[in-house]
Amino acid sequence: MISQGDILTADLVKDDNVFFSSYKGKYILMDNLDDKYNLSVKGRQEVFNTHYVYVTVVTRGTLHMRISGTDVDVRENDYIVIMPCMKVEIIDSRCKFFSFLTLSHIVNDIYERIGASNNVGIRCFCFHHLTLTKKHVELMTSEYNRMKLEHARENYKRKEVCLRALLSAYECHLFEKLSEYPEHNHYESTRQREFFQKFLDFLSLYCKRERSVQFYAEKLKITPKYLSNLTNMFTGFSASIVIDQYVAYSIKRMLYTNEHNIKKVSDIYHFPSQSFFGRYFKRIVGVSPAAYIKEHNRKAIIEG
C-alpha cells in the first residue's frame, strides 16, 4: 500500500504569500493574484495525488514543476491540468498564478452534464499542458474570481450546489476554445512510452474484470518484470500498484453516482464476494465503500 498524500502540504496553508481556501476538502482554491502577494512562492515537496484534478493557470512569470519525474515549465498564459495518480512537486515558483483542485469524480460528473465527456475524459497517470491566448486567460481568471468570492461567503445549505455551478461555467468557457490550442508534448516518442500508453488503454478496457500484472503483460506481449519496469519509469510505482490505483479510481466514480448498491458494484468488477471487494477497496482508498458513498454521494450533494 502506498501513502495517500494530499496534493497540498501544511506549509502551503501557512504561507502568507498565497490565498488558500478549501470547501470540505472537495473544492480547493489557491492563488497569489492580489497585489499584496509577490511572485515568489515557496516550493512544495513531492506528494502523490490520488484524489484531485489539479488545474493551474500562470498569468505572469514561470512555474517550475516536476510531475512524476518529468520537469515542466509553466509560463505566462499556460494552462496545465494534472490528473489523479501523479506525483507533483513545486520546484520553483516565480509567477502570478491561480490553481484549483476538485475531486476527480465531481469533475467527471460536470463533464458529463455540460456535454464535454465525449471530447475529453479524465484518466489517471497523465497531465495536459497548453498555452492559451491572453484574452482566454483573462476570461478564465474572471471565472476563477467568481468561485473565489463564493468560497468567501458564509456557509449555507446549498453552497456546494453553487460551487458546482460556478465550476461548470468555468469548464464551459474553457472547452469552448480548448480544441484550438495544441498540447505541449513532454515525452519523446519511444517504444517504452508506446507500451505504457497501450497499458493504460488496456486498463480502461479490462479493469472491471482483470487486476493481474500477468494479464496485462500478456496483452502487451512483454514480461511482467518489463511491465513493472515501464510503470516505474513513468509513474515511480510497480505495475501492481498502478493497476490497483486505476481500479480504485474507476470504482470511486461509480460509487459517487450511487446508481448501484455496493453488491452490484462488486459484481460489475467481478470480485468473488462483497466482503472481498470491501477489503480491497479499503486497502487502497483507506475507507470502506459504504463510508465513501456516505461522504461522496452526488444525490446528497445536489439535494443539499
Secondary structure of residue 99 in the 3-state scheme: strand
Could you tell me how many residues make up the chain? 304
DSSP state for residue 222 in the 8-state scheme: S
Q: State the chain's mean pLDDT as an integer.
A: 88
Position 1 in a domain: no
Distance CA 120, CA 108 (A): 10
| pLDDT single digits (tens) 183-214 | 999 988 899 999 999 999 999 999 999 999 99
Structural domain contains residue 5? no
136 plus 234 within the same structural domain? no
Assess whether 176 and 197 both reside in one domain.
no
- Last residue in a domain, options 129, 156, 180: 180
Q: What is the pLDDT of residues 56-69, one digit of tens each?
A: 999 999 999 999 98
d(CA 131, CA 8): 25
Q: Distance between CA atoms of 228 and 230, rounded to whole angstroms?
A: 5
Q: Does 81 share its domain with 153?
A: yes
Full domain range(s) for residue 39: 10-180
| C-alpha cell at position 142 | 474572471
Return the sign of the alpha-carbon dihedral for residues 169, 173, 176, 181: negative
pLDDT at 10 over 50: no
- For residue 4, being part of any structural domain is answered with no
Helix (H) / strand (E) containing 150: helix 134-152
Does some domain include residue 119? yes
Q: 169 and 96 in one domain?
A: yes
**Cα angle value 239/55/187 (rounded, 5°):** 50
Write the CATH number for 258.
1.10.10.60
The angle, 0 to 180 degrees and rounded to 10, between the axes of the packed helices 104-114 and 239-257 is 60
Nearest in space to 132 (alpha carbons), one of 81, 193, 88: 81
CA 198 remoteness from chain centre: 20
Question: First CA to last CA across the chain, in angstroms?
Answer: 34
Q: What is the pLDDT of residues 71-100, one digit of tens each?
A: 999 999 999 999 998 989 999 999 999 999
> Tens digits of per-residue pLDDT, 235-254?
889 999 999 999 999 998 88
Number of structural domains the chain divides into: 2
3-state SS of 27-91? Answer: EEEEECCCCCCCCEECCEEEEEECCEEEEEEEEEEEEEEEECCEEEEECCCEEEEECCCEEEEEE
pLDDT tens readout for residues 152-164? 999 998 899 999 9
- Does one domain contain both 143 and 246? no
* Residue 67, domain CATH: 2.60.120.280
Contact at 8 Å (CB) between 157 and 198? no
The answer to whether residues 152 and 249 belong to one domain is: no
Based on the fold, state whether residues 135 and 238 are members of the same structural domain.
no
pLDDT at 259: 77
- pTM across the whole model: 0.87
CA distances in angstroms from 208 to 11, 51, 197, 204, 254, listed in the order given: 39, 20, 18, 8, 11
- Contact present, 79 and 130 (Cβ < 8 Å): yes
- The pLDDT value recorded for residue 220 is 96
pLDDT at 157: 87
Q: Is residue 158 part of a domain?
A: yes
